[in-house]
Structure 1
Amino acid sequence: MTTTPLFSREPGAHERHLRRRYENPLFPPERRRIGDRDVLAARLRDQQHLEAFLERFHQVVQRAVNLDANVQSDVILELKEELDRCYEEAAGLAGDQARIKEAIVKLVGTIMRAVRQGAEHDAVALRKLDEEDQARSLHYELLEEPLVADLLNPEDVIPEGDLIPALLGCEPAVLEKVLTLFSPEQMTVMIRDARSLLENTTLEAGVLALATTNLVRMEAAATEQAGTHTVN
């Protein structure tokens, strides 16, 4: 008799992907079989990732606090980019990282205000900063979806072979967000692989219906992308 592994309530990226794979018929049989040892190993990796992140984040915060008032703009922009990467990474960590993400937003806001002061008489630069702020806000919002955070995880949490099963098995609303991460060329390959998977896998009606819906949405998104690129 097999028992369901005991997953965490707020898992990190590695354990979260085990939950996607667990008894999921879209994955190959060997990828569906998940035991307690697998969960414990994934949880350990997530904990190590969290600890390493917290150490790096503390160093970044110290650099931000110790910035000289006359520091050059390229140093400020490099720090801002590092904070953006920190937010991206924090979004996929185990546990509740809301306070860390809030702290990053505040730090980035402080840095951007300093950058704006230096460009206060340059209308073109200010417009570009507005566009950057909007893009950052949308990206941060996108990262609230765990699958997005896991796909962007620097530790390659979702291997290439797991991508299509993960996409075909997620909720359509989640897929809509995830598809914004991929280029038209990537979408073409993904659609080809998704069709192949569905043609060569026997699935129960409910799973097949969801996977087919997601494939249709992928095809529609690819068409939309092609139209946008043609217009541009």
Structure 2
Amino acid sequence: MDWRFWKAEKRHEEAETHNWPTETHESIRQLLGMYLGAGTPPFANWSAPGIVFAPNVEATARNSVKGYQLALWFWLFAGKHGAIAARMARETFCLLADAAQPASGDAIDALLDLESRLARSVESISAEQRTFSQEGQAVELPMEFFLATGALRFMPESPYAGDAGAPLQGNDYKLADCFRHATEEALVLFRPMIQAVEFDSKLLPNWKWSARPGAAERHLQRRHGNPLFPLHRQMVTAHDVHEARIADNQALLDIRNELNEVRHAFFEKPSLPLNWQSYLENFREQVDRLDERRLVAGGQNAPLGDAVGALRADILATWRAEIQKNRNSLAALDQDEARKAERRALLYGCDWTGQLLSHGSLIPAEEVVPALLSESPAELEKAVAGLQAEPRLHETLAHCRAAAHRLVGELRAAGHGFPDLTEKLYILDGKREVPQEDSPGPLPA
């Protein structure tokens, strides 16, 4: 059907009865055709009737509204299939966009990020903040007004970008009207479209690695197409990535839930017990174990790290308040804190080391050395430093050295050569000489 020739009064009926794709990849392909196609609703209908922008503002208005319409599709998809599935769908969309128009995928991804930030900032605005008085009457500005203002201030191509004090010359009100109109236009199509589509990660042909992968995804990234691993382990699918992201997300969720329990237990007592030092020590140890698990889990865990740090600071503040008049005790506590920080940096400063030490290691035993050799030289140096600093891990380091030399020898005998392997063996052996490179070609990471 040619959506450009819809009659307005038939839009709902046509959208509801249209035979929308049920498979995610096909639905995304159709969405991309709508987005890139000339004159194709809902994106062609981004501007409200009668609204005209000056030439220097029109591109900003058009891109921001169309980007918001596109974001709506993925938000609706997330509402039905979950945020992780929506992220996989978005990655597929951007990769398909790149194939259709080279370099467009990253631009679309950045636009969707901006739309999400704008939406989150608008959601945080209270009704009181949206209300002003006009001729003695309280007037509440619609959310679209704040979306429009944010777009005009923060879209990179906007003539108002970087100048917070520049008057918007009424473009904020006009753009708000476009956001409202475009949202209605998009939802007419997208609601039945999303209602029809199902999600099966096994049918997705591709994905993009996370900028900050969780532990499970990071190990898939190491394995993918990497000759250091057996051939069958080099094969990674979008389904594998989806499952890994679910596991990584659950790991962080479990840590946050346990942290909330520890916080509740710490603050529920109005006063400290007589054995306050062991009491506080126990809470500090619980929080430290949770933070170690957070570091091992990886991913986008900075907010969780802030929450851990805040509770830990409260525990230490209580501790210091009890010994504030005892200089020796304060010095001993500071020294203990310094030792803990140094140990944590050594053992958890590298993904590989933290994952190796995790309860029920996230790296299979037979893949410990291939995973280690998949790290960058800088990360490998951190791993070796951590193993050297912990006496109980010296035997592990010796095993890794021997196994790494054996594995590299087998790879070279099979005709494989990678530029970093000689350097990595030198690092494992504790040598300082700068080696010559093996041969051209990057080692998959």
What range is the shorter-chain TM-score in?
Answer: 0.7 to 0.9
Q: Is the counterpart of residue 79 in structure 1 residue 79 in structure 2?
A: no
2:261 counterpart of 1:56: no
1:18 aligns with 2:230: no
Find the counterpart in structure 2 of residue 225 from structure 1: none
1:171 is aligned to 2:376:
yes
Bigger drift between 72-81 and 39-48 goes to: 39-48
8 Å Cα contact 2:215-2:299 kept in structure 1: no
DSSP 3-state at the match of 1:136 = helix
Q: Are positions 1:30 and 2:242 aligned together?
A: no
Q: Structure 2 regions of 5+ residues with no counterpart?
A: 1-204, 388-392, 432-445
Structure 1 counterpart of 2:272, from 70, 75, 97: 70
* 2: CA distance, partners of 1:126 / 1:103: 24
Change (3 A) 1:46 1:155: farther
Q: Is the 8 A contact 1:11 1:95 kept in 2?
A: yes
CA distance in 2: counterparts of 1:155 and 1:6, whole angstroms: 27
More helix by share: 1
* 2:373/2:424 contact within 8 Å kept: yes
How far apart are residue 139 of structure 1 and its match?
4.6
Cα deviation 1:163-222 (Å, max 9, x = unaligned): 1112122111111211233232222111111111112223533x2x4122112111117x
**In the alignment, structure 1 residue 204 sits paired with structure 2 residue 409:** no
Alignment of 1:110-149 (within 5 A): 110-119=314-323, 120-121=325-326, 123=328, 125-141=329-345, 143=348, 145-149=350-354
Structure 2 equivalent of residue 158 of structure 1: 363
The answer as to whether partners of 1:12 and 1:95 remain within 8 angstroms in 2 is yes
Q: CA deviation at 1:89?
A: 1.5
| TM-score (normalizing by structure 1) | 0.80
Which residue matches 2:429?
219
Unaligned runs of 5+ residues in structure 1 are: 222-232
One of 303, 308, 312 as aligned partner of 1:104: 308
Letter in 1 for 2:281: L
Alignment coverage as a number of residue pairs: 216
Q: What's the CA shift for 1:94?
A: 5.7
Which segment drifts farther, 14-23 or 59-68? Answer: 59-68
Which residue identity is paired with 1:135?
R
Partner of 1:229: none
**Greater RCO, CA 8 A, separation 6+:** 1
> Secondary structure of 2:261's match?
helix
Partner SS state of residue 221, structure 2? helix
1:89 and 2:266 are equivalent in the alignment: no
Which stretch has the larger CA shift, 106-115 or 53-62?
Answer: 106-115
Pair 1:32–1:105, CA change in 2 (3 A): same
Q: Work out the percentage of aligned pairs sharing the same amino acid.
A: 26
For the pair shown, which has the larger CA radius of gyration, 1 or 2? 2
Q: Residue 173 and residue 95 in structure 1: after superposition, are their counterparts in 2 closer, same or farther (change >3 A)?
A: closer
CA RMSD of aligned residues (A): 2.5
Using the TM superposition, give the Cα deviation of residue 34 of structure 1 relative to its aligned residue in structure 2, in angstroms.
Answer: 1.0
User: Alignment partner of 1:201: what SS?
Assistant: helix
Question: 1:224 is matched with which residue?
Answer: none
CA distance in 2, matches of 1:86, 1:104: 8
Q: Does the CA-based 8 Å contact 1:21-1:27 persist in structure 2?
A: yes
Shift of 1:17: 0.8
Is contact 1:164-1:193 (8 Å) kept?
yes
State the alpha-carbon separation in 2 of the partners of residues 140 and 103 from structure 1: 18
Q: The residue matched to 1:26 in structure 2 has which SS?
A: coil
Distance 2:212 2:427 in 1: 29
Partner amino acid, structure 1, of 2:231 = P
Name the CA distance, whole Å, in 2 between partners of 1:122 and 1:82. 26
Q: Deviations over 1:67-113 (max 9, x none)?
A: 44223321211110110111111224464221221222232233223
